[in-house]
Structure formats: C-alpha cells, structure tokens
Structure 1
Amino acid sequence: MNNDIFPCLWHNEDAKEAAEFYCKVFNGKITADTPVVMNIDLFGQKIMLLNGGPQFEKNASVSFMVLCETDDEVQNYWNQLSDGGIVLMELGKYPWSEKYGWVRDKFGLTWQLYLGEKQGEQKIIPTLMFIHQNNGKAMEAMDFYTHVFPNSKIGGVLKYGDGVGNESHEVPENVQHAHFEIDGYSFFCMDNSYDHKFDFNEGISMVVMTDNQEETDDLWNALTSDGGRESMCGWLKDQFGMSWQIVPKKLIELMSDSDQLKAQKVVQAMMKMQKIVIKDLENAYNS
C-alpha cells in the first residue's frame, strides 16, 4: 500500500480528540502527536489531522468508504460513528450492498460503511463526489488523475444507466460508482446532480510526498494546469477544485531536525513559498 499518498483532515483545535476517536473506532494508533499535526494509522493507512483553524469545514464532497467483511463489523463502526453525528443514508439493505449506511461523525467527517468484497489491501477509500459545475466530470477526472500520476489505472465503472438503483433519475451516462488508482492508492468517485450546499474545499485534501524536486515540479505543474490554482506552502487546487499538498520528503526531514533554530528557519522559508523548492529550504537550513 502506498503511504506516500494520504488524506489530510482540517480541524479547528480538535485534531487530537478526533485522532483518539478514530483510533478507538477502528483500533488504530497515533504515530505523530504535535499541537499542529496528528498522524494516525488505521489498517496500515496513514491519515493526517491538521489543526488549521476555523477557515474550512469538512463536507461530504469527499467521504471515506470503509469496506467491511462482516455484518457485525458494519454495525460496530456505525454505532460509534453515528453517536453524536448525523445520518445521511440510513443503515440498511441497498441494491449495491446487503448492509450499507452513510454517516457524518461528530467531527464533520463523512463515512460510507459498506458490506462487500474487499478490493486489495486498502480498507478505507476516499470517495470523490462530482457535483455542481463538476457533475458529469467524474470520468474526465479519472482520466486526468491517472495520466498525471505514474502506476495508475481506472478500474470498474458503473454508470447510472447500467440499472443498479437509479431511482434519482440521474443522467444515464454519468458515473454512479467508479474505482481508480493513482500510484497504487485507491479512490472511488461518483457524479451527483443534487444541489448540495457544499463542494470540494481545503477541509479535506490529499497529501503527496515526493522524492525530489523533479517529481515535485511535474505533479505541481500538471495539477495546476487547465484551471488549477496555486496556493501557499505546497497547497494547490486542481481544475475540479480538489485540494492537494505536494510535499517533498526533504521538507519533513529538515523540519524535524534536532537543531530547533535550523528547523525553524526551514519552516519560515516554507511559509513564504507556493510550490516547495528544496534548494531554497536547504539554503535556509544552512544560513
């Protein structure tokens, strides 16, 4: 499983509480514990929680599908995640699963619990919902992502016209459910024509750890092309509005240096950057 690609969840000072909650629900462990960043390991998958402030709220445009193998497993997760949360789709039997439910937990993160076949090692799969101006673009997005990242592929694609539970009268050619991989990391996606009061934002982003400047440049340039937008500190939005963080591993190494003064210089240099430039970080470190 590729742990150089992982989700980042934006929090307003409750990242530690949320990290402890998710580790309790899924029997995970905390692997980094700082005032700003918490990292957790759930089923061998890395998830970052970031205390970023009140600017962004997580929403259901990116949810997390948990592939469960038993009825009891679904029920156990559901009982805990729905406690203090909001049910979006009642737990029950659906055309696509014997036991399925969609819930927003008390920290604002949405989960789809699904009883069915496991697909490889990855148990928790980010699921992208293409809505508003993006509705109908799920197929285009999969093509884009699988061309940008190496070792990528599109898996199964179910369209609304394929006749599985399309009571919502969606466009038959639109994607009801699809699976794709970027560099070995799995995603699901769907189109949805409902006028939701949310869309992709920085509340949930995807972090990509890069090995060198060339890889950083290639991903940055590709993801900001065709209407994407650069942001600060390695953050960007792609043409669909999805947020990414392109982070050279060297940045983490320099920021973690035991010499606090040098590490602080690196952080200060990084804060002035849009795309992360490793040479400039090293110059700040050595200054």
Structure 2
Amino acid sequence: MATNGFTTCLWFDGQAEEAAHHYVSIFKNSSVGRVVRYPEGAPQPAGSVLTVEFTANGHRFVALNGGPEFTFNESVSFVISCENQEEIDYYWTKLIENGGEPGPCGWLKDKYGVSWQVVPEGLDDMVADPDPEKAARVTKAFMAMTKFDIAALEKAYAGA
C-alpha cells in the first residue's frame, strides 16, 4: 500500500468542481488540483467534469461526478475539531450557508448533503471524565444543542 495515506472520494451529481472550490474556500491549507473530463463516448457529455482532485485542510479528496445513483447520508461524516468558539461559529456558518441544514449535537449537512460534525477540542475528554456526574452533565448539555456552545459545555462540566 502507498505510504502517503488515503484519498476520500466524494460522489456528486454534476457539482464536483463547484464543491471542490467551495471546500477549498472554507479550509486553510487547501487547493484544487487536476480536473479530469469525460471523453467522447462516456456516459456523461464529452468535456464535462469527471473528477476534481483537491486538498482541504491537508486532506486529499477526489470529487467525482458519478450521476444521481448515490447520495450522501449521515452514515459518513467529517469531524472538525475546533480550538475555540470562533472556529465553531466560522465552520458552522460556512458549511450551512446557501442551503445547508443544522442538525443536533454539532452535526450539520452542507448544501451538497455532506455531513459534518463541528465539535470543540476537549469534548471527548469531558464526556469521558472519570467523574460520572461531570460526564453526565456535559452529555445532557450537548444533547440539547445544535451548534456547540463551548461556554455552556464548560459551565455544565463545572456543575454551575
């Protein structure tokens, strides 16, 4: 197996190039790479985009215009660990704008139907705290949230 990690392939129905540019505009350390087009005789019009290679936040992706047969669902999501509330607010806003949908517990779907979890760093530590009362308070607090509120989570953790 190659030693340079994995590439995630995302299946779109005609929006691969648009989606690649969208994600690159949101995340640092991102760029669009090679664009491959359908040849004559392919199942899509010749010259239309087949795949777009891109990097978002250092992670490699291929956006594929495969057609309407498959769509995204919540069984696969991308987790964004955020250092502070400003990052949570930024990613939440950027990913739901223009047709995305907020979901429970820090989950959302972007305008393409891709699921994301926008979570604060340290949430796992709070939920896994050896003090079951602290863990329960934090879990109860985040279960009632859509977009995470770090101050409210810390308040619940502290028992305030």
Superposition TM-score, scaled by structure 2 size? 0.92
Identity %: 37
> Paired residue for 1:270, among 132, 142, 146?
142
Q: Which residue of 2 aligns with 1:286?
A: 158
Q: Which residue of 2 aligns with 1:128?
A: 10
Task: For structure 2, list consecutive stretches of 5 or more residues without a partner in the other structure.
Answer: none
| Aligned partner of residue 241 in structure 1, secondary structure | coil
Alpha-carbon contact 1:250-1:278 (below 8 Å) kept: no
The alpha-carbon deviation at position 214 of structure 1 amounts to: 0.7
Q: Which residue of 2 aligns with 1:171?
A: 45
Alpha-carbon contact 2:99-2:111 (below 8 Å) kept: yes
| Aligned partner of residue 172 in structure 1, secondary structure | coil
Give the distance between the partners of 1:173 and 1:230, measured in 2 at CA: 35
The alpha-carbon deviation at position 167 of structure 1 amounts to: 4.2
Q: Which residue identity does 1:175 align to in structure 2?
A: V
Give the distance between the partners of 1:207 and 1:259, measured in 2 at CA: 26
Greater relative contact order (Cα < 8 A, sep 6+) = 2
Give the distance between the partners of 1:255 and 1:175, measured in 2 at CA: 44
Q: Give CA deviations for 1:167-218 in whole Å, capped at 9, x if unaligned.
A: 433123432222111110111111123x41x411101111111111111110
| Aligned partner of residue 258 in structure 1, secondary structure | coil
Q: Give CA deviations for 1:39-75 in whole Å, capped at 9, x if unaligned.
A: xxxxxxxxxxxxxxxxxxxxxxxxxxxxx45xxxxxx
Alpha-carbon contact 2:16-2:51 (below 8 Å) kept: no
**Count of aligned pairs:** 159
Q: Is 1:256 matched up with 2:132?
A: no
| Aligned partner of residue 207 in structure 1, secondary structure | strand
Alpha-carbon contact 1:150-1:183 (below 8 Å) kept: yes
Give the distance between the partners of 1:232 and 1:125, measured in 2 at CA: 28
- Choose between structure 1 and 2: higher strand proportion: 1
Give the distance between the partners of 1:192 and 1:185, measured in 2 at CA: 21
Q: Which residue of 2 aligns with 1:147?
A: 25
Q: Which residue identity does 2:79 align to in structure 1?
A: V
Give the distance between the partners of 2:132 and 2:45, measured in 1 at CA: 56
The alpha-carbon deviation at position 244 of structure 1 amounts to: 0.6
Runs of 4+ that moved beyond 2 A:
166-169, 171-175
Q: Which residue identity does 1:129 align to in structure 2?
A: W
Q: Which moved more, 1:138-147 or 1:249-258?
A: 249-258
Give the distance between the partners of 2:125 and 2:86, measured in 1 at CA: 18
Q: Which residue identity does 1:277 align to in structure 2?
A: D
| Aligned partner of residue 214 in structure 1, secondary structure | helix
Give the distance between the partners of 1:151 and 1:268, measured in 2 at CA: 35
